[in-house]
Amino acid sequence: MARRKSKEKKIYVLDTNILLHEPFAFLNFQEHDVVIPMTVLEELDHIKDRNKDVSRDARVAIRALEDVLRDASPDQMLQGVAMPRQGEQKQGGHLFIVNDHHITDEIPGLPGGENDHLIINTALYLQREKSPTKVILVTKDINMRLKAKGAGLKLVEDYRTDQLIDDVRFLYKGYYKFPGDFWSQVGECRSENEGRETYHYVNRSVLPNAYINEYLIDEVEGFAGKVVAITDKEIRILDFGYERLMHRHAWGIHPKNIYQAMAMQALLDPQMDLVILTGPAGCGKTLIALAAALELVIEKGMYDKVIVTRNTPEIAESIGFLPGTEEEKMAPWLAAITDSLEVLHKTDEHPHASVNYIMEKANIQFKSVNFMRGRSIQNAIVILDECQNLSAAQLKTIITRCGEGTKLICSGNLSQIDSNYLTAVTSGLTYIVERFKNFEGSTTMNLNGVVRSRLASFAETNL
């Protein structure tokens, strides 16, 4: 039997946006070589001094490159500097810095002065000089990928090392819906009561791909429960009761469908440190999150305050220096929260006064993502709205700010991404759904039952 051939070595040329998306990305190409054109270093240098969140990523990338190249001579940099091996990797690649300003234009039609074109030209040059070794340009800029292919570059890719799924249709939804009746498919089952709660133990083969805290429902609307423990042989299920779950309420709000009911149960559960709500516009993500937060802070006194934050349209950049407090500047971006507060109190005698009173009593604070880094938030509920526009690194920054006694609620709609460099599969929201789907302190719920007006429902599916 012939020996298996080792992986063919490749050369990856990185665009600037890759290092801004993940500063240590150049270390993630296993045994393959990585080329950083001089133009990329110049762009990082221009970005690092701006008063924006992305400047930090530029500085981290520059320091990471310097750590690898610190002791290298100019000749060694031209020949390639060995990169540190990752994990159990036996062979590491090499890092090259290429002075692309001295490379003759491979395609005369590409203007040499534009940075994107200089980087594409570097990849074309390497494709010719290093043949038959495969040269791959890696960029998150879709238009740049199209231009590179049009210029004759054979291999162009997006950066997918941090991509956990290939199709958002397969994203974990947080629940499993049994066809037909749940009990007819379970077979042998033993049950036990602990106080007011009933638990069922079913064979693992009933749901071989179960995750902890996964909700279970059936088509006949006869069963609703949640997976609370998993062993090699069986699954432990907490029985909520379908009708009982539908009668849960928070701050006067009752669920309009089973998905909202499951989300409300997770939001009101003090054992859940992270609740992730996904789904289309109008499914009630923000309204239910806010209602649950008010219930837990004011009625039950379990938390001290509610912190509401979201990325601004400029992807967590500066909120400006116009007069006004941080809350006043963030108010336009957090109108969804104030709209939800008005809905919760629209039947009051003086709705506007009620909203102001509740905001003060619940200590609701509007904060910018910019100022979350470095904080330690204690005994609070943090509502992170519109987080589909945040990268995995930005979400990690916020999650790691949550101290003892803090509950984080992340909500977002993966069909409404405004970022230039994120897609549904590379969004930070998708990333944390997949990363936390088997964490005992988190719950995910996809609210796929749109309950907004028939106009909004029609637009969501037909426009």
Give the per-residue pLDDT at 404. Answer: 86
pTM above 0.95, yes or no: no
Give the per-residue pLDDT at 252. Answer: 86
Give the per-residue pLDDT at 338. Answer: 73
Strand, coil or helix: 140: coil
Taken in order of first residue, the domains within the chain and their CATH numbers are 10-84+91-158 (3.40.50.1010), 256-462 (3.40.50.300)
Query: C-alpha dihedral over 293, 296, 302, 306, to 10 degrees?
Result: 20
Give the per-residue pLDDT at 214. Answer: 96
Q: What share of the chain is helix, strand, coil (3-state, %, to 5)?
A: 35, 20, 40
Give the per-residue pLDDT at 367. Answer: 77
Q: Which residues of the chain have pLDDT under 70?
A: 1-7, 51-53, 86-90, 106, 108-113, 161-167, 312-336, 370-374, 420-421, 450-453, 456-457, 460
* CA–CA separation, 144 and 142 (whole Å): 5
Give the per-residue pLDDT at 135. Answer: 95
Give the per-residue pLDDT at 111. Answer: 61
| pLDDT tens readout for residues 414-451 | 888 877 667 788 888 998 999 999 999 999 999 977 66
Give the per-residue pLDDT at 356. Answer: 79
* CA–CA separation, 390 and 396 (whole Å): 10
Q: Which helix (H) or strand (E) holds 368?
A: strand 364-368
Q: Most distant CA pair in the chain: distance in Å?
A: 84
